[in-house]
């Protein structure tokens, strides 16, 4: 076997597919390879590679921070079934990796799997996390929050009920089947905001518009500052954007490059974490530290400033993981536009970000 991918999430499957397309003999091991995903994966449409399996897309987006921002940028919800699909020649092994060694892994049942290259795509863990609770409602009921052909990226307006001052926002995206996923989200908190608090706020928002409560609930927990593991890919490699919690679009875009590196005998880390990406990640961690240090009322103010930046600056910060110049430019523009109180908080957070581990 040439490649063994540990973990069958979006990153592991994208990589296994790309390795197979390169002609590499590939296996993927996961404890529950047939279990359908319950998460709704989405991204800015222009961050996805051509051919990414999109289920629903919008042509525009909206943000409410201290003011309303209409953004002429499309958003895309991925089709989980197509995202999960693997080529027939990828061997799928059911199992939990208990030990990793050089060119082999040991499963919990004692089975040993050997491969020229083992890539860890088994996801992330960590205490600083983004949390959300969501429900899917029919599109017509969601109309007070999310318009047609639109994604509500963030709505920081306060919910009618809350048990704590922690800031949360409403996220709303159309999903397959004509519904809209409405999610109460806590961007970054250590430890995360309790699920009960998020649920209280979401239910209060729905009740204010007489929207009946659906039974099913989507729960989200995305570690934002996970310790990156060497020779890994996806969230396991620390590829999650520390400010947004996103990594799927990057994993889909990078998978073919990583597969090419494996075929050429180049270490995976060299492609996943080139110097530019490491530096950008360090800056993004600073952004995360700044958000964690802010007072509750400053967070919507911060996002208002962010969405007032020119669109290219916004894209540079949210998207391009290797563009150090663009990321630094976006962050300094944000800093310059902030008032003195917020600037002070951002500057102070540099100190707390200094101890944060960066990849590579």
Binding positions for ligand FAD, rule: CB under 6 A: 6-12, 29-31, 39-43, 96-97, 121-123, 218, 220-222, 234-236, 240, 245-249
Minimum distance between the CB of residue 284 and ligand FAD, rounded to whole angstroms? Answer: 14
Please state, as a whole number, how many other Cβ atoms lie within 10 Å of the Cβ of residue 116.
13
Residue 79 or 218 having the CB closest to ligand FAD: 218
Nearest-angstrom CA–CA distance, 18 and 334 = 38
Q: Rounded to whole angstroms, how far apart are CA atoms 243 and 97? A: 30
> Which lies closer to ligand FAD via its Cβ, residue 31 or residue 360?
31
Concatenating the DSSP letter of every residue in 203-233 gives HHHHHHTTPPPPS--EEEEEESSPPP-TTB-
Q: How far is the CB of 92 from ligand FAD (least distance, A)?
A: 11
Two tokens, residue 58: 């919008």
**Alpha carbons 360 and 351: distance in angstroms, whole number:** 21
Dihedral sign of CA atoms 106, 112, 113, 117 in order: positive
DSSP annotation of 159: P
Q: Which residue is nearest to ligand FAD (CB)?
A: 9
Taking the least distance from each CB to ligand FAD, the nearer of 43 and 342 is 43
- Residue 185 beta carbon to ligand FAD: minimum distance, rounded to whole angstroms: 10
| Strand ranges of the sheet holding 91-94, from the earlier edge strand across to the other edge | 91-94, 26-30, 3-6, 117-120
Q: How many CB atoms sit inside 10 A of residue 180's CB?
A: 24
Cβ closest to ligand FAD, residue 80 vs residue 327 = 80
Q: Which is nearer to ligand FAD, 54 or 96 (by Cβ)?
A: 96
Asked whether 277 and 297 are in contact (CB, 8 A), the reply is no
Give the nearer residue to ligand FAD in terms of CB position, either 188 or 222: 222
């Amino acid at each position: 076997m040439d490649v063994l991918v540990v973990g069958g999430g979006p990153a592991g499957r994208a990589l296994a597919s790309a390795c197979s397309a390169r002609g590499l003999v590939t296996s993927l091991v996961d404890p529950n390879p047939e279990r359908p995903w319950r998460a709704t994966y989405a991204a800015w449409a222009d961050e996805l590679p051509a051919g990414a399996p999109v289920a629903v897309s919008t042509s525009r987006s909206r943000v409410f921070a201290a003011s309303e921002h209409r953004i002429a940028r499309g958003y895309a919800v991925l089709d989980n079934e197509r995202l999960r699909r693997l080529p027939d020649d990828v061997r799928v092994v059911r199992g939990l990796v208990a030990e990793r060694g050089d060119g082999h892994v040991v499963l919990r049942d004692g089975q040993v799997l050997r491969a020229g290259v083992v890539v860890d795509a088994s996801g992330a863990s960590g205490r600083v996390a983004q949390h959300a609770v969501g429900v899917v409602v029919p599109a017509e009921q969601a109309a007070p929050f999310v318009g047609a052909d639109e994604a509500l990226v963030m709505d920081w307006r306060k919910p009618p009920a809350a048990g704590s001052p922690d800031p949360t926002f409403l996220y709303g995206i159309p999903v397959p089947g004509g519904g809209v996923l409405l999610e109460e989200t806590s961007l970054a908190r250590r430890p995360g905001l309790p699920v009960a608090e998020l649920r209280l706020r979401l239910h209060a928002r729905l009740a204010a518009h007489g929207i009946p409560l659906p039974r099913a609930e989507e729960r989200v927990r995305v570690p934002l500052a996970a310790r990156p593991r060497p020779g890994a890919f996806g969230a396991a490699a620390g590829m999650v954007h520390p400010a947004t919690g996103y990594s799927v679009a990057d994993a889909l875009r990078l998978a073919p490059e990583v597969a090419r590196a494996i075929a050429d005998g180049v270490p995976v880390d060299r492609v996943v974490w080139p110097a530019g990406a490491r530096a950008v990640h360090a800056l993004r961690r600073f952004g995360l530290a700044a958000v964690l240090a802010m007072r509750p009322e400053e967070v919507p103010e911060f996002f208002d400033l962010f969405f007032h930046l020119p669109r290219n600056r916004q894209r540079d910060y949210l998207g391009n993981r290797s563009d150090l110049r663009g990321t630094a430019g976006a962050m300094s523009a944000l800093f310059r536009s902030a008032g003195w109180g917020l600037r002070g908080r951002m500057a102070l957070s540099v100190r707390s970000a200094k101890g944060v581990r960066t990849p590579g």
